[in-house]
Structure 1
Amino acid sequence: MSDAPKPGGIDRNGLRPRFWKTVPMAKLTRPEWEALCDGCGKCCLNKLEDEDTGEVALTRVACRLLDNETCLCAKYPIRHKFVPECIVLTPKTIQDNMYWLPQTCAYRLVAEGRDLYPWHPLLTGDPDSPHAAGVTMRGQTLSEVEVNDDDWENNIIEEPT
């Protein structure tokens, strides 16, 4: 079956062509909003914030719900039952949360008026393209249930870009 847009400019997944370049974030449909996620898993990493500078450091310590192989939330639709503090990213909350989003995050890129990276699934048509590009956390995380809070500092990493 073809992914070509149907008449009217909507593809079979309910996405308008290059919507991230042509549609304001506040006007994106739910499927378009969700399609921006590249599945890198970096937003689900626990972060450490320096109280003095506000600098945010990534750790390889991930939310207990992150699947280390798929880099996706294992309980996404019901994640708040398990992780009530999980941040819901929306067009309204993006500006307040930009400081901790990964540099390669499509939500951040679009909010900043930048284009997606060439490996993004919306450009390649392949959900595994971020893994192939080496920009995901596949196989690199430790579950927060296995790491003592005091040891997070020992697990600070550079963001794969």
Structure 2
Amino acid sequence: MAETPFWETKTLAEMTPREWESICDGCAKCCLHKFIDDESEERSVYEVDGSEVIHDGEQVHFTNIVCELLNTKTCSCTDYANRTTLVPECVQLTKDNLEQIYYMPPSCSYRRLQEGRGLPSWHPLLNGNKKSAMHKAGMSVRGKTVSEADVYLDDFQQYIALWPLEDVD
């Protein structure tokens, strides 16, 4: 009889560091630039002064602009260990801040588990630790982005994307 997977028996808070890291599906949607529109001004999510909530009248907009450290073919950070030093606005998702990071997309595996929705069928843990099913399902940023180094960020409105909000399965 097969053993029940750890993500079905443990809460996110109970997971070991290795288990926690493996929950990341590697879609790289967290590497997309996001902006908040509060009808009076538009600002980067990173300019929210540590806000842990989205206020009435505010809306998060995802763009197809990615961090310049992202390898868009593998959907992996080129310097994962140093990312928060090299990119100070890069948010490291942890057990302690998961609930405050309101701008994680609906397909985020951490968010799905926290909401009791389980892992999607395309998740690497369910596919031999390979990302191919995720890419095939269109759930990663692969082939959909432009590097922040190639755009003028003040023109972010031209790059607003709806696909990061899609959630398959």
TM-score by length of 1: 0.84
Pairing partner for 1:69 from 52, 73, 97? 73
Runs of 5+ unmatched residues, structure 2: 40-56
Partner of 2:54: none
**Bigger mean CA deviation after superposition, 103-112 or 52-61:** 52-61
Give, in whole Å, the separation in 1 of the partners of 2:151 and 2:30: 18
2:129 paired with 1:131: no
Q: Which residue of 1 aligns with 2:115?
A: 112
1:22-48 Cα offsets, whole Å, 9 max, x none, are 111111111111111111111100001
Aligned positions, number: 146
Counterpart secondary structure, 1:131: helix
Secondary structure of the 2:163 match is: coil
Question: What residue is the counterpart of 1:29 in the other structure?
Answer: 16
Shift of 1:64: 1.3
Q: Is the 8 A contact 2:34 2:63 kept in 1?
A: yes
Unaligned runs of 5+ in 1: 10-16
Aligned equivalent of 1:40: 27
The residue aligned with 1:13 is none
**Does structure 1 retain, via aligned residues, the 8 Å contact 2:29–2:105?**
yes
**1:18 is the counterpart of 2:21:** no
**1:54 and 1:35 mapped to 2: Cα distance?**
32
TM-score if structure 2 supplies the norm length?
0.80
| Pairs within 5 Å for 1:60-99 | 60-97=64-101, 99=102
Task: Measure the CA separation in 2 of the matches of 1:139 and 1:65.
Answer: 16
Q: Is the 8 A contact 2:84 2:91 kept in 1?
A: no
* Aligned CA-pair RMSD: 1.5
Give the AA of the match of 1:109: R
Is structure 2 residue 160 aligned with structure 1 residue 156?
Answer: yes
Residue of structure 1 equivalent to 2:61: 57
Rounded Cα–Cα distance in structure 2 between residues aligned with 1:119 and 1:44: 19
Secondary structure of the corresponding residue to residue 61 of structure 1:
strand
Q: In the aligned structure 1, how far is the partner of 2:38 from the partner of 2:5? A: 39
The whole-number CA distance in structure 2 between the counterparts of 1:81 and 1:124 is 32
8 A contact 1:41–1:137 mirrored in 2: yes
Q: Find the residue that maps to 1:100 and give its secondary structure.
A: coil
**Which residue identity does 1:107 align to in structure 2?**
Y
